[in-house]
Structure 1
């Protein structure tokens, strides 16, 4: 949303209005109940104030720590390679220091793959995340074709 706001040269009021419009479910209910406390009558509504309140509710240190732990413990288990990669990408933003080095990111991804896939990748000594992901997809496809992938998955 920030990129859109910058492109459109939105005012703080515009930003808050557009953000309110995007809120759904619990977030929408939270904002309805909280906006008067965040911006008491007579107080200027600022985008920074909205962001600070929103992050305090939905991006607390505790929540970020939980996501980082989830990333550190992430393994493919019964997920497909594509599902594992999507979860890996989603959670990696909570642990940027663990994936800022390309080789560390590739190793972390490799180490989380199921054993039957990882065993075939290790001898290739790949260091590139994209290559590991692509090869893992190919290996998974072959395992599923010959039926050994089904058995390996049932172990998890």
Structure 2
């Protein structure tokens, strides 16, 4: 990580999210088919201490790591979106994946809310407030604000940028702001080549950055011959 990156407890808390990719197979199981009511495997509720003991990373009601809860929600929504679930189906599908204390917690929340309140966005916001927590979001936001490319490749920098920006949406509310922040974090040798024209489409900016990086790499290889 570059010298401008944040350090300490907050960074470690937020960086724990990166290990989430390895838990999908054991944690998610199969998504429910809401049209055919097929019975599926679902996660159980465990505490962090139990998770570390058994190696089975699941959403729990007591001391659950925010990285696990964040990844669970992100992966669940991604799968259901790919299956073209409606918001109502997403809500019912996610409910069916809750177990034990997590399920009891949601029942209590649902019973205390007005029926018209309870939708997919309400579920996500409430679950994030319960399991992800403000301290984790703040840690990710601080890390995002100090994020620079450093020794990363453009591909690695983009992945980290997108991961952290999810908890700093106000800072990248528009395509323009997103481009400005991404460009500011690029290494100087890439930034000066791209800054000649302020790009306002994020995907185009990333493509240009990748091209410039390849050009610089080729130049270095020729010089080293």
Indicate the TM-score class for this superposition, using the shorter chain for normalisation.
0.5 to 0.7
The aligned counterpart of 2:120 is: none
The change in CA–CA distance for 1:118 and 1:19 in structure 2 (over 3 A counts) is: same
Counterparts of 1:48 and 1:108, CA distance in 2: 41
Which TM-score applies when normalising by structure 1?
0.67
The aligned counterpart of 1:154 is: none
What is the CA deviation profile of residues 10-37 of structure 1, one whole-angstrom value per residue up to 9, with x for unaligned ones? xxxx99x72328999348488397798x
1:20 corresponds, among 38, 44, 49, to 44
The aligned counterpart of 1:114 is: 187
Higher relative contact order (CA 8 A, sep 6+): 2
Counterparts of 1:22 and 1:55, CA distance in 2: 19
Number of residues paired by the alignment? 135
The aligned counterpart of 1:73 is: 146
From the CA coordinates, give the structure whose radius of gyration is larger: 1
Q: Please state how far the C-alpha of 1:95 moved relative to its aligned partner.
A: 0.6
Instruction: State the SS of the aligned residue for 1:146.
Output: helix
Which TM-score applies when normalising by structure 2?
0.48
The change in CA–CA distance for 1:67 and 1:49 in structure 2 (over 3 A counts) is: farther
Q: Please state how far the C-alpha of 1:124 moved relative to its aligned partner.
A: 2.1
